[in-house]
Structure formats: structure tokens, C-alpha cells
Amino acid sequence: MTATLRLTSPPEMGPGGRHLVLDCLHGTTYLDQLVPPRGSRVILSERAMIAMAVDKHEAEEGCGCARDLTGGQSADSLKVSARADSASVTGS
Ligand SMILES: [Zn+2]
């Protein structure tokens, strides 16, 4: 089974804002990155966002469909570095 991933930059989120949708037969996971407040220079890499979305999806659905999306990368290491950042990441 396969999950699909869409990463967009909706104009209403402002420059740097990202909206990620991870969809599979079992459910859909959303992850937004808002523009960091002034003074913060940290933006999550797309790879880190994907790793976080995959983890969130698997926590919610537990179906394993999204695992392949990390391309064998260690989601844990990406997640740890993402947590160390001060970027604002919120789920829905
Ligand atoms: Zn699934």
C-alpha cells in the first residue's frame, strides 16, 4: 500500500509557510509549518517535515503505509534535529 504526500506553499500562509498533506487509504495527516517569528532563522527542511509527518501519520493510523516516504532515512535523527529548532510546527 502506498501513501501520497503533497507539500505546498499556500499564499495565505505567507512566505516560507508550508502545508503538508500525507494521505493513505486509512487516513490523512496534515502538518503545517508557519513562518518563524522575526528573529528566528530556522526553517525546517522538507525532509524533516516529511519525517515528522510520517511519524505523526503512523502514530495516528499505525498502518505503515507512509514508512517508505522517508526513503530509508532515519526519521528519528531528522526529528531530533527538528525539535532542537525553534521553528513553529503545528498539526491540525
Ligand atoms: Zn495506511
C-alpha cell read off for 39? 528573529
Distance from residue 28's CA to the centre of ligand 1 (Å): 9
DSSP 85: S
- Give pLDDT tens digits for 74-87: 445 545 444 444 44
C-alpha cell read off for 60? 495516528
Distance from residue 86's CA to the centre of ligand 1 (Å): 30
The pLDDT of residue 89: 47
Reported pTM: 0.69
DSSP bridge partners of 23: 4, 28
Euclidean distance between CA atoms 16 and 49, whole angstroms = 13
Please give the backbone phi and psi of residue 69, each rounded to the nearest 5 degrees, phi first. -65, -20
CB atoms within 10 A of CB 59: 9
